[in-house]
Chain A
């Protein structure tokens, strides 16, 4: 068997992962070029090991349990600020940083698996870029900007197809950062509740959708 039917906007099966890695590899060179022009050091090489082919599946894990986290406090702070621009608290759920999404992003980019090294470059260079851009425009690091200032930068990079040429590498970074942030957030109990997932509970019988759902679909 193979899982046949992904129901996500962008399923990350192996084939997609490979495609994404190729795209990312292509995009990172652009971002790197802009980053290195600003004198940013490239990311360190990771030597940690993965969880292997026979991990304990019942255990509950948190970021840092299997391989060490590697982001600096400053990088974590910037990541947290950007996470919360993407997923702020509202009536239905907390902000991304309130449920430790920055630690998850750290886990993701510190992972010793193929593809994650590319994400590492994109994320760390992107975080450096966003601070540099914040300094350039407003004379302060991203974390210290007010909402209006943060949004001014994010508006320029939130949608790659509309981004001006000078912002395209940063828009690639933002796209990937938003995907990691949303994946990190909506997989937590708070995030699952926020998005409207009400499963993962044992029930006696499975009755199918309630009548109001079928009515809305015109199936009654």
Chain B
């Protein structure tokens, strides 16, 4: 079973999975490895990283030196197809014209979705992160604990390959022996930051990223991941053999033709397709979940974008994994006499409590890094280190003025030059040109560091999405309308980030490139801009206060699951993708058990 066209679908499947990214990839993988027959629907086109990834292309080989345009907002070589902050023909709207209350929604329309270009940062939520309300009285607790998710974090790390190490720090979980790959050596600027930030009490430690720093052990890992399932072990071993270790060149955002980093298209889908249990239809834009008279889901209706025709496909179980907001949209558009406000929405909470990550950034110029001997700092195509949140005690003592923490990501080094490499140098050189300018360019190259905070947002009543009453997309499907508001917990956190970054830059002997912003409302990035949107179908223990149970199964419709970021009850500073995969795997195990028992 393979990539097929709409006319080749089977009369019925065990499971339909809507979406092919981190959530859809993991859900389909888990199900087909256990023998379930799965149909996956992807709204974008087929995409093959092996043949389509620009490995080694330099910026002079791209239009406009690869710089960003409205067609390619993260630059020409970024692995995003038919996507960005706007998707042609598929708008979304904002309830407010106030820029501070707008939400930016990044989508990709391609097989594998946003996993093709993502930052690969793979941090585990800690035990505090699942019980935030119990700790500080704000937001929502999850109906599960770290211990419930930990075994799935283990499995996901072993499956996708994550480099990093264990540091025994508060609420920053260690991984069991054998889960992580060795972290790459730190770059010069990263080592300097570690030495200087230590004096401020900030721990600079290896970050966890889904990149293979060495080849996976295909003899050991498949047995650990799929005990008692020799067929799955064999399929996974073959897939692992086809992946190469990182060769320390080409930014990960372009994707990876040698499969050295995690993208659904190189890690989840190849073994899933090889199982023979997965059918995949691309250019399939899901419009709604269909239901029978008893209120059970029967399948979905999708538009085949290549023909514009509508198709109905059927399954025993429907899993929405279309990205948190897109899954909300599908549910709100699935209206019937039984569910006039959308499927599985008796709580009225579908679309509520959407969250993004708090983001703010500041750059600095570090004289110590000037005129360093030439050396290759490409590394793993992304950061090698970060600073986990370190002020738990101060926060609990009420000294910070905001409730939740952030981690710090930073970029440094002699990276492949782009249009910005020497732009704006005049403010350092009094406007040099000629041979002096060339000397200045060499001197300042690699001396600029950028610091970015990634912090937790607390869900609130003013941040949600619903259907726009008027606007429809080119397929005639009603679109989402976003409502957004940061609270002071987020804006104060953003101001704290600015202060901290300035301190680190100064501790490194550097100078900030702009005055740190003391007004958090000005420092904070717009909602959605960090592309960590979660929530909208939150899980819970109370059927009236949540959309799904802890298994991502909707309370109202037993055979409908949501395995993307939608069920998140909080959005810890940890980047959400790893947790999405762990929870999707856990939900899929439960789904398969229930299916076997005849409960769905």
Contact = CB atoms under 8 A, between A and B. Distances in A.
A11 B249 contact: no
Contacts of B379: 206
B54 A57 contact: yes
Contact of B431 (A11, A61, A107, A158): A158
Interface in B326-371: 359, 361, 363, 365, 368-369
B248 A195 contact: no
Contact of B188 (A12, A174, A207, A209): A209
Contact of B419 (A160, A183, A208): A183
A26 interface: no
23 contacts: A1-B114, A5-B452, A9-B422, A9-B444, A57-B53, A57-B76, A57-B79, A60-B61, A114-B70, A158-B431, A160-B426, A182-B423, A182-B425, A183-B418, A184-B60, A186-B421, A196-B445, A200-B249, A200-B416, A203-B376, A206-B246, A213-B372, A219-B192
B63 to A, nearest CB: 5
- Dominant secondary structure of chain A at its interface with chain B: loop
A178 B433 contact: yes
B128 to A, nearest CB: 23
Given A86-B433, A86-B434, A179-B422, 9 more contacts: A1-B119, A54-B45, A66-B63, A108-B64, A111-B63, A187-B65, A188-B60, A192-B416, A213-B375
Interface string A1-17: 11111111111111001
Given A57-B77, A197-B445, A199-B414, A160 B431 contact: yes
A213 B188 CA distance: 7
Contact of A17 (B66, B68, B195, B253): B68
A133 interface: no
B441 A54 contact: no
Contact of B58 (A1, A62, A200): A200
Nearest to A157: B431
A210 B375 CA distance: 7
Contacts of A107: 63-64
A93 B114 CA distance: 39
Instruction: Determine which residue in A9, A12, A175 has the highest number of CB atoms from chain B within 10 A of its CB, and name it.
Output: A9
Interface stretch (B144-152, B179-187, B313-321, B563-571): B179-187
Interface of A: 1-14, 17, 50-55, 57-58, 60-62, 65-66, 85-88, 90, 92-93, 104, 107-108, 111, 113-114, 151, 154, 158-160, 162, 174-175, 178-179, 182-184, 186-189, 191-192, 194-210, 212-214, 216-217, 219
Interface string B437-459: 11001101110111110100000
A178 B426 contact: yes
Interface stretch (B82-90, B134-142, B227-235, B282-290): B82-90
Nearest to A57: B54
Interface stretch (B12-20, B405-413, B473-481): B405-413
Contacts of B423: 8-10, 12, 179, 182-183
B431 A3 contact: no
Given A12-B423, A53-B84, A200-B249, A5 B437 contact: no
B309 interface: no
B192 A199 contact: no
Interface in B542-578: 575
Contacts of B88: 53
Contacts of A194: 438, 441-442
B460 interface: no
A61 B53 contact: no
B72 interface: yes
A10 B365 CA distance: 11
B417 interface: yes
Contacts of B36: none
Lowest 4 CB-CB distances: which A-B pairs, in order? A5-B411, A159-B431, A208-B185, A8-B420
